[in-house]
Amino acid sequence: MSRWLSTRISWCPVNLGMRGLTNNYLSCCVNTLLQTLSATWELAELLEKWDTAGVEEATRNVPLQLKRVLVAMRDDRGRTDPHDDFLRCLDRNRFRLYVQHDADEVFLSILNFIQQQINDRAMALQIQDLYKISVETILQCLECKSIQKRTSYLLSLPLHIKEDRNTLEDCITSFFQHQELRGIDCCFCAQCETKTPSKQGVKLVSLPRILCILLKRFRNTRGFTRKLDCAVAFPENFDFSEIVKEAFCADFAQNDCRYTLYAVVVHCGCTTGGHYTAYVRSKVDRRWYYADDSRVQLASWEEVRATYGGGSRGTAYMLMYRRDSNEEGRQPELSG
């Protein structure tokens, strides 16, 4: 058998830390997310350190089953279906088998299950911090000019896309633009003691190690949901601070806001039916691979770029970026 990836069977060299996953119970959505989580080695390393002794109801514990499946995915000599227990665990937590699910919803639910079910609070917070985007929401009354501020966090950055050609930079800029709230969108002002027109904005308090970006391709209009296949161009590398300098809080303290893409969740089809696949970048050889359930094969950046959209092919739905660090080195920047 060749050292490289087979396009027909669920196999991949163990030294690349990748393997295909069979589509059991309409599991392409979970299969795809497991490929991206496996490529998030920071998460796998934290789970490896977790002492699971004494964990109750193991078959219902999502972080425990996730830890096991990520270990199994790095071993091509293991079970044919290393993710079967994880799928059944999600089913016991009300993510039913034989049902198509939204990838972003499942991703956020897995992170929430980790917070709820892991018995090491410090470990749970470390995992949350991997993805935690801390933001400050600013609401200014347009009548009395009073300002209300509230700090919260997101685990993914949901970006609105226009029904035209988009760039990731434009979508991020739009997310941080101030919006006026009038009419039915008016907010209550404590100083005016009534609902008044307001101006709302979001400022960044801190950025995470892993930046998950959701491209909001599904739009509901008058009770009907449709998918937007319009193009969204995204770069392999970008510097957050060069896109939205005005979006940072005054006390934002991070020096390096440069990010490198390492995984793309792709959706094919429409709102009533579809299929998920993923492009992931190997930590070992830094090359791109395409995972379509049990098939894993070498891919190119040009193939990843083909998921921008604007045609009949699969479109990028979720983007996973990793903040650069000195020890990993800076990859050459490729045009988006």
For 267-282, what is each residue's pLDDT tens digit?
998 877 789 999 999 9
Does any domain span residue 313?
A: yes
In this predicted structure, the answer to whether residue 163 has a pLDDT above a threshold of 90 is: no
Does any domain span residue 2?
A: no
Query: In this predicted structure, what is the pLDDT of residue 325?
Result: 75
In this predicted structure, the answer to whether residue 16 has a pLDDT above a threshold of 70 is: no
In this predicted structure, the answer to whether residue 327 has a pLDDT above a threshold of 90 is: no
- Average of per-residue pLDDT values in the chain: 88
Contact 67, 119 (CB under 8 A): no
> How many domains does the structure of the chain reveal?
1
DSSP state of 331: P
Q: Which residues span the domain enclosing 294? A: 14-323
Q: Provide the pLDDT confidence category of residue 332 given band limits of 50, 70 and 90.
A: very low
Q: Provide the pLDDT confidence category of residue 9 given band limits of 50, 70 and 90.
A: very low
Contact 64, 55 (CB under 8 A): yes
In this predicted structure, the answer to whether residue 1 has a pLDDT above a threshold of 60 is: no
Does any domain span residue 216?
A: yes
Q: Is the Cα torsion angle 240, 244, 245, 248 positive or negative in sign?
A: negative
For 21-50, what is each residue's pLDDT tens digit?
999 999 999 999 999 999 999 999 999 999
Does any domain span residue 329?
A: no
Does any domain span residue 3?
A: no
**CATH number of the CATH domain containing 233:** 3.90.70.10
Rounded CA gap, 242 and 239, in Å? 6
Query: In this predicted structure, what is the pLDDT of residue 253?
Result: 79
Q: What is the mean pLDDT of residues 233-250?
A: 90
Does any domain span residue 1?
A: no
Q: What is the mean pLDDT of residues 125-131?
A: 97
Query: Which residues neighbour 25 within 8 Å (Cβ) at sequence distance 6 or greater?
Result: 87, 91, 97, 98
Which strand (E) or helix (H) includes residue 243? Answer: helix 240-243
Does any domain span residue 272?
A: yes
* Residues with active-site annotation: 28, 275
Query: In this predicted structure, what is the pLDDT of residue 312?
Result: 67
| Residues facing residue 298 across a β-bridge | 289
Query: In this predicted structure, what is the pLDDT of residue 232?
Result: 96
In this predicted structure, the answer to whether residue 328 has a pLDDT above a threshold of 60 is: no
Does any domain span residue 65?
A: yes
Q: Provide the pLDDT confidence category of residue 173 given band limits of 50, 70 and 90.
A: very high
Query: In this predicted structure, what is the pLDDT of residue 310?
Result: 82
In this predicted structure, the answer to whether residue 113 has a pLDDT above a threshold of 50 is: yes
Which strand (E) or helix (H) includes residue 263? Answer: strand 258-269
